[in-house]
Amino acid sequence: MSSGETTEAGAPRIVRDVVCGFCGLGCDDIEVAVAGRVVTPRKACADAARLLARGDAPPPSPRVNGAPASLAEAASAAAAHLKAARSSVFSGLGADLEGHRRLYDIAMVAGASIDHSASGGLFANLDRLARRGWIAATLAEVRNRCDLLVVLGDDPAASFGRLFERIMPVRKGESGDAAPLFAPSGRRVVMIGAPFSDASRKVLAGHELSEILLPPEQVATAAALLASALAGRDIGTVDVLPGTAGASLAELADLLRAARYSVFTWNAATLPQADAAAVAGSASEAVDLLSPTTRAAVLPLGGRDNVTGAHQLALWRFGYPLRTAIGAGTARHAPDLYATAAALKDGDLLLHASAFRPDPPPEFSAGPVIALAHPDTSFAREPDVFIPVGTPGVDHPGHVFRMDSVVCLPLQGLRPAELPSLAEAASAILANFGRGA
């Protein structure tokens, strides 16, 4: 829900309880001031503030081969390129659910592989989930029940600015939110890998914090050793890690056994690519070992630019996740073959979609580039077709999935839209295939 108020004629409209769709955390207490087309964040993390802020400059028009064009002309040119292509690659996929639905419609009629720019971490986690499953917590469960949080890798606040504030509040109801229901007032947070940032230490002041400092390439080893300790093996004298890390992990295993509700969390996108799946596997194994005697769960972090929604919608529509090729009434899932970087090696057209932030398309020179993108996007190569699109939650309403996959959140439009939504741009392209809304 949202509310607006104007204190006097001409004063900015204050909009409260705005839902943020950028990082996947789904904060729903953002506050902005809106004056005409100008949006000024008043309460938001640094990343959300940067991406929400808007000035009054007129948006760019669509372009075809660098020349200004109407939306209809740009959509017609995009459709002509898609009809001529034999191996189209859809990248980025930064969109709300309706935008994803329309992009997938294009893929079904034109043929294309689909992948999200943030799917690397998603697939590292899916490796464990598909093979053996896991016991996962929601954000609310962690907030309400967790008394021991183990963080594997970097401080997650670098990517999810308000994570600790939301899931590990120090005092019950300190920010006006509902008080944690069952968690004790003093909780423990353990970092395995990088140290806490100063900002995280400030947010977590009042909890018991400890660190097992390791270089990034040793986090996977530490996670495996911790699972071994929980299985009953003696790791206190293991010398594969520096200093007293082995002994510290053995002590942590004892704390985990005594905890009422422990949670393991990590951001697979910031772990070394070769180790991310192993970290997810070891954390899940630790939960399996703890579950017969106490409660434990994993909380994999992710969700940037609605990658969770792109993944869910692909499952609903095709029976397969992202990194799937669609067309001619069939779908073929091959994650190694249809990851964006791999697919571009054989692709002859790139369609890049990025409505949440001005991320440019990946480097590609083997065919036309179609960009349905944020109006501030800077391109190393001028796209053959560029259609600037509005941002969900700023220029138009939409829906995104929260990172824990259990909540679909509504986004509202904050200002008069002068740009088409990504769904509207994709629908205009579809109309040239004889497919309307």
**Residue 77 in tokens:** 């040119």
Whole-angstrom distance, CA of residue 421 vs CA of residue 61: 14
- Region 150-165: what's the mean pLDDT? 96
pLDDT classification of 7: cutoffs 50, 70, 90: very low
Mean local confidence (pLDDT), 167-174? 69
pLDDT of res. 98: 98
Report the distance separating Cα 362 and Cα 344, nearest Å.
Answer: 9
Least confident piece of the model among 1-5, 198-202, 295-299: 1-5
pLDDT of the residue at 38: 96
Per-residue pLDDT band for 273 (boundaries 50, 70, 90) equals very high
State mean pLDDT over 194-217: 95
Average pLDDT over residues 9-23: 90
pLDDT digits (tens, 9 = 90+) for 390-424: 999 999 999 999 999 999 999 999 999 899 999 99
pLDDT in tens, 18-69: 999 999 999 999 999 999 999 999 999 999 999 999 999 999 999 999 999 9
User: Per residue in 306-365, pLDDT tens?
Assistant: 999 999 999 999 999 999 999 988 999 999 999 999 999 999 999 999 999 999 999 999
What is the pLDDT, as a whole number, of residue 239?
Answer: 78
Range 239-262 average pLDDT: 92
Asked if residue 180 has pLDDT above 70, the reply is no
Q: What is the mean predicted confidence (pLDDT) over 200-222?
A: 95
Give the confidence band of 203 by pLDDT, cuts at 50, 70, 90.
Answer: very high
Give pLDDT, residue 437: 56
Of 241 and 359, which is predicted with more confidence?
359
**What does the pLDDT read at residue 5?**
45
Confidence of residue 4 (pLDDT cuts 50, 70, 90): very low
Which tens digit of pLDDT belongs to each residue from 22-34?
A: 999 999 999 999 9
Per-residue confidence band for 130, with pLDDT thresholds at 50, 70 and 90: confident
HEC profile of the chain: CCEEECCCCCCCEEEEEECCCCCCCCCCCEEEEEECCEEEEEECCHHHHHHHCECCCCCCCCEECCEECCHHHHHHHHHHHHHHCCCEEEEEEECCHHHHHHHHHHHHHHCEEECCCCHHHHHHHHHHHHHHCCCECCHHHHHHHCCEEEEEECCHHHCCCCHHHHHCCCCCCCCCCCCCCCCCCCCEEEEEECCCCHHHHHHCECEEEEEEECCHHHHHHHHHHHHHHHCCCCCCCCCCCCCCHHHHHHHHHHHHHHCCEEEEEEEHHHCCCCCHHHHHHHHHHHHHHHCCCCEEEEEEECCHHHHHHHHHHHHHHHCCCCCEEEECCEEEECHHHHCHHHHHHHCCEEEEEECCCCCCCCCCCCCCEEEEECCCCCCCCCCCEEEECCCECCCECEEEECCCCCCEEEECCCCCCCCCCHHHHHHHHHHCCCCCC
Domains belonging to the chain, first-starting first, are 63-118+305-391+418-431 (3.40.50), 121-302 (3.40.228.10)
